[in-house]
Copies of this chain bind each other. A is one copy, B any other.
Amino acid sequence: MSEVYAARRERLRERCTAGGSATALVTRPANVRYLAGAAPRGAVLLLGRGEDLLLCAGPPADEAGAGRPDEALRVQALSGPGGDPAVAAADVATAQGADSLAVEEHHLTVTRHRAIGSVAPRLRLSDLGAAVEQLRVIKDEEEISCLRVGAEIADQALGELLESILVGRTERHLALELERRLVDHGADGPAFATSVGTGPNSGRCGHRPTDRRVEEGDFLSVCLGATYRGYRCEVGRTFVIGTSPADWQIALYDLVFAAQRAGREALVPGVAYRDVDRAARQVLDSAGYAEALPTLTGHGVGLEIDEDPQLAPAAMGKLDACVPVTVEPGVHLPGRGGVRIDDTLVVRPEADGGPELLTITTKELLAL
């Protein structure tokens, strides 16, 4: 694996040199992990002149799924308490003879930025911007296989829940149960706070579980994901509780399903982000639900659950092959509830069979 991390750092170094600063300081944890193989708490990566350095606040902990720092990388732990590895890194950069340092201004606080400036007054601080985030968009097959395992785990956890008795249990209990099952099946942990919505709460994007209990006739929507070796996937489904769905439930479900399928089918290399969004959105729009829609149809996933690209009306850019994204349209009707269907897929060329569906739980409307 070591060559992978070294190659990633080399690509970033090329971008930095082209941008005028040969030395860069990476502080955002997911970016540190991408380039160094691990991001112990507080760790920062100095992409130096000659040697790269991972600076940690203390000795790296042996945490489930946390990864190991690239062996080709020098790792240094601060000795005293309370020190900021970012400030120490600026000191090292000066000692290495750097005259400028590109930092992640979208991650560093004003206070930390100023502390770096004080300790290294001769360094010209510039903005690295989202350079690392951009490198992270297209995944290699190793990364995709981590997502694939995570998706299998999430599918398993969801499948087992469906076999249990649901009526009378609270949203919070169902969410905790799902998270326990994720870990049972080998996840590092949940990829994000598991969302379970019943009745009027169903279909709400990012709904945080409450003490409402599942009742007969409810829609039940569930959104969960597993983290596996740091990679985060997402699956969301909506079910009906009881013997048979009401007509409005069937109609709403069919509509969201059609929108989600349209979004999935739009995933081809070269398509504009906004066109994937439009494909799903126009199905819902034309049925009169323009007001009830979330602001986006999907987003990239990887070391974070919400990465570039955004599949949204105003997004700029085009999809590449090997970009994993969610497609997750939904409709929520205030007071009644709604439907949300969410898959993680990898964009693939049509010659390779088109988009690869990672989350394979059925999308039929199940009555539980």
Which residues of the other chain, B, contact A209 by a CB distance below 8 angstroms? 64
Query: Interface size of A by Cβ–Cβ distance < 8 Å?
Result: 34
CB of A172 within 8 Å of the partner chain? yes
Of the candidates B81, B103, B208, B295, which one forms a contact with A63 in the assembled complex, judged by CB atoms under 8 Å apart?
B208
- Report the nearest B residue to A110, measured CB to CB: B105
User: Which of A139-147, A175-183, A226-234, A356-364 contacts the other chain?
Assistant: A175-183
When each residue 76-111 of chain A gets 1 if its CB lies under 8 Å from chain B and 0 otherwise, what string results? 000001100000000000000000000101111111
Q: Distance (Å) between the CB of A313 and the closest chain B CB?
A: 9
Please report whether the interface of chain A is mostly helix, strand, loop or mixed according to DSSP: loop
CB of A346 within 8 Å of the partner chain? no
Contact A183 B173 (CB under 8 A): yes
Q: Distance (Å) between the CB of A172 and the closest chain B CB?
A: 6
- Report the nearest B residue to A64, measured CB to CB: B210
Which residues of the other chain, B, contact A176 by a CB distance below 8 angstroms? 176, 179-180, 183
Q: Distance (Å) between the CB of A30 and the closest chain B CB?
A: 15
Contact B172 A183 (CB under 8 A): yes
> CA A30 – CA B4 in complex, angstroms?
40
> CA A324 – CA B255 in complex, angstroms?
53
> CA A225 – CA B111 in complex, angstroms?
30
CB of A261 within 8 Å of the partner chain? no
Contact B106 A106 (CB under 8 A): no
When each residue 313-340 of chain A gets 1 if its CB lies under 8 Å from chain B and 0 otherwise, what string results? 0100000000000000000000000000
Which residues of the other chain, B, contact A18 by a CB distance below 8 angstroms? none
Known contacts A110-B110, A176-B179; A207 and B61 CB within 8 A of each other: yes
CB of A211 within 8 Å of the partner chain? yes
Query: Using a CB–CB distance below 8 Å, which chain A residues touch chain B?
Result: 61-64, 66, 81-82, 103, 105-111, 113-114, 127, 172-173, 176, 179-180, 183, 206-211, 295-296, 312, 314
What are 9 A-B interface contacts by the 8 Å CB criterion?
A: A63-B208, A64-B172, A64-B209, A105-B110, A107-B109, A108-B110, A109-B109, A173-B183, A176-B179
* Other A-B pairs beyond A108-B110, A110-B113, 9, CB < 8 Å: A63-B210, A64-B211, A81-B295, A81-B312, A106-B111, A109-B110, A173-B183, A176-B179, A180-B180
